[in-house]
Amino acid sequence: MKKDTRTFTLVMVAVLIAITCVTTMLVQIPIPNGSGYFNLGDAIVITSGLLFGPGVGFLVGGIGSAMADFLSAYAFYAPFTLVVKGLEGCLAGYLIHKVSNKWLASILAGALMALGYLIVDSLLYNFATASGGFLMNLFQGMVGAFVASLIYPLLVKKTSRRLN
């Protein structure tokens, strides 16, 4: 990898982490059971994985989303978010290279996020409480998947041209 390409990737990771944090904090609608909030950050997390692969997807999703939790009233969720959102971005990046289908990669990544928080909330609270937030998290993941699938084609040509 050329030095210029490494620099570009490093800068993009930092910028995407910041965009993820800001996007997550910009719109926060509390989930009725009190176990989190609806946000639009998943679109950036999934897009990052699709564009730059599983490693960058994990870093952007995990760090950007955990920073948003830490800076909001949900700091206790930050360690869980680091893992759940990191895996969401990682899965999107992994699947786009394995199945080459942006819709499938995005939808499965968004669903993984909802399942991840179902597990976390079941451990922190109980399954009934976790179940109450699952549909909202699934909706959030699907909105993120939809938006990511729409903006991915617009960005992939620009980033791949820059990386080559």
pLDDT in tens, 33-49: 666 788 999 999 999 99
C-alpha to C-alpha distances, 29 to 69, 72, 93, 129, 139, nearest whole angstrom: 13, 12, 27, 17, 13
* Phi, psi angles (nearest 5°) of residue 120: -60, -50
pTM assigned to the model: 0.93
When the pLDDT of each residue in the chain is averaged and rounded to a whole number, the result is 92
Reported confidence tier of residue 5, pLDDT bands at 50, 70, 90? confident
pLDDT in tens, 119-141: 999 999 999 989 988 999 999 99
Q: Is the dihedral of CA 142, 148, 149, 151 positive or negative?
A: positive
pLDDT the model gives residue 164: 43
Asked whether the predicted pLDDT for residue 13 surpasses 60, the reply is: yes
Mean local confidence (pLDDT), 98-121: 97
pLDDT the model gives residue 162: 56
pLDDT the model gives residue 158: 77
Please, where are the H alpha helices in the chain?
A: 3-26, 41-52, 54-59, 65-71, 78-99, 102-124, 127-163
**CA–CA distance, 14 with 113 (Å, rounded to integer):** 22
Percent of the chain with pLDDT over 90: 77
Reported confidence tier of residue 155, pLDDT bands at 50, 70, 90? very high
